[in-house]
Amino acid sequence: MPRSAKYGKCEIYWDRPPEVEVREFIDAQIRILQEYGELWHDQALPKHFTEAGASEYMYGRRSKKYLEKKRREGKTNPLEYTGETRRSAYRSYQVRSDTKAMTVVLKGIPKYFYQSKRGKLREELVRFSMTDFENMRRFVEEKLEEHYER
């Protein structure tokens, strides 16, 4: 079960079957988490730039002035104004994994995503929903089963 499902962090614990060597289990964990990182980048990240994603990931409210400015310019997608953030997130990324964690590093994200006044943008961009968590749990379970059926 998840210990934390906000700000892009969630935890899954699984037990090593007694018949499986420790090294083999560790290698499988790393490989599966790496695969899930690629899957998250391809499937979950794009949802962050949609209206449905704004609801699913519970984005903060935007000022009326900002929303009006976006509306006048015909822009409706959350986390996106010029499109540069979206292009950077898709174009340049790296998935890192070890036995305890998987991290998707999005390179080239604008500095204002990390500035304290707008720090919520970074949190919104990497936030996990319970749907994401369930998808990850199923993915990990299926991959582990496939791996040990061999």
Q: Are 28 and 22 in contact (CB under 8 A)?
A: no
Q: Does residue 140 register a pLDDT over 80?
A: yes
Lowest mean pLDDT among 46-55, 108-117, 126-135, 137-146: 108-117
- Which residues are within 8 A (CB) of 24 and not within 5 positions of it... i.e. 6 or more apart? none
pLDDT digit string, tens, across residues 43-67: 999 999 999 999 999 888 888 998 8
Interatomic CA distance for residues 131 and 150, integer angstroms? 29
Of these ranges, 6-10, 99-103, 114-118, the one predicted with the greatest mean pLDDT is 99-103
Cβ(19)–Cβ(145) below 8 Å: no
Q: How confident is the model at residue 68 (pLDDT cuts 50, 70, 90)?
A: very high
From CA 95, how far away is CA 30, in angstroms rounded? 11
Please name which of 142, 143, 139, 137 lies closest in space to residue 13, comparing C-alpha atoms. 137
The residues that bridge with 104 in the sheet, in sequence order, are 95
Residue 11 predicted with pLDDT over 80: no
Can you give the pTM of this predicted structure?
Answer: 0.81
The number of beta carbons lying within 10 Å of the beta carbon of residue 51 is 11
Q: Using 50, 70 and 90 to split pLDDT, how confident is the model at 5? A: very low
Interior angle at CA 8, CA 6 and CA 14, nearest 5: 90
- To which residue do tokens 């936030």 refer? 127
Q: What is the mean pLDDT of residues 99-120?
A: 77
